[in-house]
Structures are given as structure tokens and as C-alpha cells.
């Protein structure tokens, strides 16, 4: 029957004239979207989904910035290397000569001083201006480049005594030191002084006349009485003085018969090159003489006197190296172990699960402690720590892989592949494993912050110690600062911020990878 007959057989009331039909949106563009029919690869599709997750992208950028810091800071730090240490400048705050001019990163710390202690600090600046022993005024000392007191903030009464709250430059606080040097070095320092105009050697203090409160402290260059009160000697009378602008301090320098100050004292040795001299130096300028630059540490120094910025870079590298190594090893072991369990099941699964159950019952902290006691001496602390992490660390990954294999191994596409003669190895790694990849990658990435946290805990408890002259870890930095952080908070705050960022960012990054590598989301618009 043709179309005309079909139409004529319809009831008359059901017929609609063709004039009533019209095309909608004639000449209009319905969509600007271009439909791409090209196939998208697995990893390209994962990248497209990952970059839509803004939190994960930001986390990845932060992780990259921390890694770049760890790589490039040691390369571009031309002043110090990882082994550079100065014990006199240990536990110092951040200091930069440019930022110091605006009151930032000036190495300053606020402390409370009684009157005697504050006069002693101000006297360091006065003494620095009196290299020839002819005297320096109170105002010259307060305005000196070497004045450690940056600002007197306020004063208050406590137990009937005046207490001054002042900000002090902890690098200039070292002040003067006694040092024993060879005659040849003495000559080199004198020549350097003449060349640069920077004074290193200062007059010796007379420690035998009864006016020196502490003969071992080179900062008591002025006359003091037995109670360490500043005194001036006038007409043979001792007079205690108080903190007051314009009140001079009388020097207590050693002088020869002609009244000239003495800069060195022979202490032993046979000839001009081996003779030992006792000298009094301004350590800040002695540091410049030895190293060729003024002390600058953008993050300050650690408890031993190392550059904290370099130690932080070393700690990031070591902590990430340990964490990533543990993650990769656990990934390989756990993926293979879990795939065998989940794919074959039965007796094989039962046997392997019992082994995993036994190992999972062993406390990690006990394993780490035993390995550090018995293996660290022969293998080294890092290999023994890796062994402790890997011994049981793969169990979580294998359990996730096993669960995913039980989920996917009876799917239609797996049965089709098996029917077509695909081998077990191909089915496992080609058809089932990619479906588990998102979960496995997430768990492996999350292992990294977990390892960093565990290493920090073990270091904090003193179970392991990864510190050395050329290496350290973030946990070791926290451990070193644990007993002194209340007085030197930067030693704890800076490593803690880095650890916190790494843990938060790796968690966000792992969540982004989980969603990106989830095959069930392929082609889904978000």
C-alpha cells in the first residue's frame, strides 16, 4: 500500500494541511558549541577534569613552589652553603640589610631589661665608636651602626625596680669577644682594617684593677663596681650612675706608660708567625673580615647556627624524597599484591590476606624504633627508616586494589575479554587495573603527607635523628626547636607552616587526581 492510500484511509478530522507546518528558528544559530568527534586519550581526559578542580590546581601550584624552593635556593645562595655554621649567631631571627631599614627582618627581638642590663647593651654601641680609646659620647653610642638596642618601647615598675622593654638586634647583641690569634692573622686584620676602614680590633680591658665586673666578658669595657653598676671615677671617688642621656661611661682600657691603649697581649709562641696574641674584637666586624659580607639570613638561623633557609630547603628535599620513595614502593608492592588477591580469589586470596593481617598487627612505632636501634648503625638512618615504612605501608594500597578487583573482575567487558582469549596478565593490567587507578593514585599521594607526619613524630620523640652538617629533615627541625620555640618562635613556625602546607596540599591534590582518573567520569561535563 502506497503513501497516498495510507493518507486517504485516515479519518478526515485527523488530517492536518501541510500549510500549517513551518520550520522553527529558520536562519538562527542554535549553539556556538563545536562538537569534537576526535577521540580523547585517557590521560588527556584526566587532565581536562583535573584542571577544572580549582582547589587541586592551587594545591599543585603550592607543592610545585615548595619543590622549586628546595631545588633553587641552595643553587642561588652564593654566600652560604649547607655546611656553613656560626655558633655565635645561632637561634637568630630573620635579617636582611635592605628590609632592616624599614623595620622588617632586622634580626630584632623584644626583651625586658633591668637598668644594669640595658646600660650594658647600649655600652656596646658606645664602645664600638671608641676604637682609639679617646672616648665616645652617650649620643654617639646610641646612634652607632653597631648599637644593638633598636628601640626602647616602654618602662614599668616591677618589685620596686624599673624594667625596660626594648627591641634588640640579636646579631649586634654579641658585641665584643676575646680571641686568641696568631701574630700573622693579627697583621692581616690590621691590613684589612686599613684597606676597608672597618674596625675589628679594640683596646683590651684592664681586668686586674678591680673595676671589671666579669673578666671573661669583653663587653664590660667600662668601669663597674662589685655589683656591676656602671660607675665613673672622678677625683678618686666611685660614683654609681643610672640610665640617663648625656651621662658618660668611663673606659677601663689597658694602657702603656705613655697612656696609649693596648690592642694585643702576647700569650706564647716562638716567632713572628707562631706567636699567640690575645685580642679584643667586635665580632660583627670580625664576621665581615672572615666572610667578606655582613650577616644576612632571610629566615634566621637554627639552634646550631646554620642558615635556616638552607636547612629548610634541605629538610624539604629529604622529607619529600623519603615520602615519595615510600609511596612508590608501597604503590608497586600493594598494586601487585592486591591484584593477585582480587583477581584469583579463593585459597590464594585467603592465604595472602592472612599474611597481610599478621603484618598489619605490628605497631609501626615499634618497628621504626627497633630498626633504628639495630639497623641504623650498619645501614644508615634513612634506609632503615624506609624499611620500617615499607614493611607494613603497602597493606592499605593492596586492600584498596583487592576491593577494586573484586568489583570489576566480573564485569561484562572483562568476561568478553576472557571469552576472546585474553590472558590473565592482560585482563589484570589492561582491563581491570585502569579502573582502579584513580583510587590507587589517591591513596599513594596521600601516603606522602602521612610519611612526612610520621617522620616528624618520630623525630619529635627522639626515635630517629636525620640531622647532620649537610642534611636534615622537617621533623628534625621541629624536634630541634621543640625545647626553645617559646623564646625563638621562628624556629618552630617556619617548618610547621611548610609541613602544614604539604599535608593540606597533598590531600587536595590527591582528591583531584582521584576524580581525574575515575574512568566512570570520562566524557562527563562538570
* Statement to judge: residues 268 and 186 lie in one domain: yes
Whether 178 and 256 map to the same domain: the answer is yes
| Whether residue 315 sits in one domain with residue 281 | no
Helix (H, G, I), strand (E, B) or coil at 164: strand
The pLDDT of residue 482 is 83
Element (H, E) at 202: strand 201-202
Q: At 109, phi and psi to the nearest 5?
A: -150, 135
Longest dimension (CA), the chain: 143
The domain boundary residue, chosen from 227, 261, 291: 291
* 388 and 261 within one domain: no
Supply the pLDDT for residue 37.
56
Q: Which domain does 458 fall in, by range? A: 305-521
Q: Is 89 a domain residue?
A: no
In a domain, 68, yes or no: no
> Alpha-carbon distance 435 to 44, whole Å?
16
Q: Is residue 44 part of a domain?
A: no
CA 142, CA 121: separation in Å to the nearest integer? 10
- Please indicate, yes or no, whether residues 231 and 364 belong to a single structural domain of this protein: no
Say whether both 268 and 316 belong to one domain: no
Say whether both 328 and 406 belong to one domain.
Answer: yes
Query: How confident is the model at residue 526, as a pLDDT?
Result: 47
Last residue of a domain, one of 291, 322, 353: 291
275, 268 Cβ separation under 8 angstroms = yes
Provide block-wise average pLDDT over 10 residues at a time, the chain (526 residues): 50 66 62 59 76 90 94 85 89 91 88 89 93 87 92 86 91 95 93 95 90 89 74 60 70 90 88 86 96 92 91 90 90 89 88 90 85 80 86 88 84 84 84 77 81 84 77 86 86 91 89 74 52
What is the model's pLDDT at position 1?
Answer: 46
Query: Among 176, 178, 197, which residue's Cα sits nearest to residue 276?
Result: 178
CA 329: distance to chain centroid? 26
* Statement to judge: residues 270 and 321 lie in one domain: no
Q: Which helix (H) or strand (E) holds 446?
A: helix 433-460
Final residue of a domain: which of 291, 326, 351? 291
Confidence at residue 21, expressed as pLDDT on a 0 to 100 scale: 66
CA distance 114 to 165: 9
**Same domain, yes or no, for 327 and 274?**
no
In a domain, 75, yes or no: no
**Within a domain: residue 33?**
no
Alpha-carbon distance 310 to 316, whole Å? 10
* pTM (2 d.p.): 0.79
Which CATH number belongs to the domain containing residue 509 in this structure?
A: 1.10.3720.10
pLDDT of residue 35: 54
- 52 within domain boundaries: no
The total number of structural domains that make up the chain: 2
Q: Tell me what pLDDT residue 227 has.
A: 63
Amino acid at each position: 500500500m502506497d503513501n497516498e492510500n495510507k493518507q486517504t484511509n485516515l479519518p478526515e478530522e485527523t488530517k492536518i494541511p501541510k500549510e500549517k507546518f513551518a520550520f522553527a528558528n529558520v536562519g538562527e544559530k542554535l549553539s556556538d558549541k563545536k562538537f569534537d568527534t576526535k577521540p580523547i586519550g585517557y590521560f588527556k581526559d584526566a587532565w581536562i577534569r583535573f584542571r577544572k578542580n580549582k582547589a587541586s590546581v592551587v594545591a599543585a601550584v603550592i607543592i610545585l613552589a615548595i619543590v622549586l624552593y628546595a631545588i633553587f635556593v641552595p643553587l642561588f645562595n652564593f654566600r652560604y652553603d649547607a655546611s656553613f655554621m656560626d655558633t655565635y649567631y645561632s637561634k637568630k631571627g630573620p635579617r636582611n640589610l635592605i628590609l632592616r631599614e624599614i623595620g622588617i627582618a632586622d634580626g630584632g627581638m623584644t626583651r625586658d631589661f633591668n637598668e644594669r642590663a640595658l646600660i650594658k647593651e647600649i655600652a656596646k654601641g658606645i664602645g664600638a665608636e671608641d676604637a682609639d680609646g679617646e672616648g665616645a659620647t652617650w649620643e654617639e653610642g646610641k646612634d652607632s651602626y653597631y648599637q644593638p638596642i633598636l628601640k626602647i618601647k616602654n618602662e614599668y615598675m616591677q618589685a620596686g625596680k624599673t624594667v625596660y622593654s626594648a627591641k634588640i638586634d640579636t646579631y649586634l647583641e654579641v658585641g665584643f669577644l676575646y680571641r686568641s690569634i696568631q701574630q700573622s692573622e693579627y697583621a692581616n686584620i690590621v691590613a684589612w682594617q686599613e684597606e676597608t676602614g672597618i674596625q675589628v680590633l679594640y683596646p683590651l680591658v684592664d681586668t686586674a684593677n678591680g673595676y671589671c665586673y666579669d673578666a671573661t666578658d669583653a663587653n664590660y669595657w667600662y668601669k663597674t663596681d662589685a655589683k656591676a653598676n656602671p660607675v665613673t671615677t672622678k677625683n678618686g671617688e666611685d660614683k654609681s650612675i643610672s640610665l640617663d642621656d648625656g651621662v658618660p661611661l668611663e673606659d677601663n682600657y689597658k694602657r702603656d706608660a705613655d697612656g696609649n691603649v693596648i690592642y694585643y697581649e702576647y700569650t706564647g709562641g716562638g716567632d713572628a708567625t707562631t706567636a699567640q696574641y690575645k685580642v679584643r674584637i667586635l665580632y660583627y666586624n670580625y664576621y665581615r673580615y672572615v666572610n667578606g659580607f655582613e650577616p644576612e639570613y632571610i629566615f634566621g638561623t637554627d639552634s646550631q647556627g646554620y642558615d635556616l633557609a638552607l636547612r629548610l630547603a634541605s629538610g624539604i628535599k629529604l622529607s619529600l624524597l623519603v615520602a615519595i620513595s615510600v609511596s612508590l614502593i608501597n604503590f608497586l608492592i600493594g598494586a601487585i599484591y592486591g591484584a593477585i588477591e582480587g583477581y584469583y580469589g579463593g585459597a590464594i586470596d585467603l592465604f595472602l590476606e592472612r599474611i597481610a593481617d599478621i603484618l598489619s598487627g605490628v605497631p609501626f612505632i615499634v618497628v621504626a624504633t627497633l630498626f633504628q636501634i639495630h639497623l641504623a648503625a650498619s645501614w644508615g638512618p634513612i634506609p632503615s627508616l624506609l624499611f620500617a615504612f615499607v614493611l607494613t605501608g603497602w597493606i592499605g594500597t593492596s586492600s584498596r586494589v583487592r576491593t577494586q578487583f573484586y568489583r570489576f573482575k566480573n564485569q561484562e567487558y572483562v568476561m568478553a575479554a576472557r571469552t576472546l582469549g585474553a590472558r590473565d596478565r592482560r585482563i589484570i593490567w589492561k582491563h581491570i587495573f585502569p579502573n582502579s587507578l584513580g583510587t590507587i593514585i589517591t591513596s599513594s599521594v596521600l601516603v606522602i603527607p602521612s610519611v612526612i607526619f610520621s617522620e616528624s613524630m618520630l623525630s619529635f620523640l627522639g626515635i630517629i635523628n636525620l640531622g647532620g652538617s649537610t642534611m636534615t629533615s622537617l621533623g628534625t627541625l621541629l624536634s630541634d626547636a621543640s625545647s626553645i620555640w617559646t623564646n625563638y618562635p621562628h624556629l618552630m613556625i617556619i617548618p610547621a607552616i611548610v609541613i602544614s602546607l604539604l599535608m593540606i596540599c597533598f590531600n587536595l591534590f590527591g582528591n583531584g587526581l582521584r576524580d581525574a582518573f575515575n574512568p566512570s567520569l570520562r566524557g562527563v561535563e562538570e
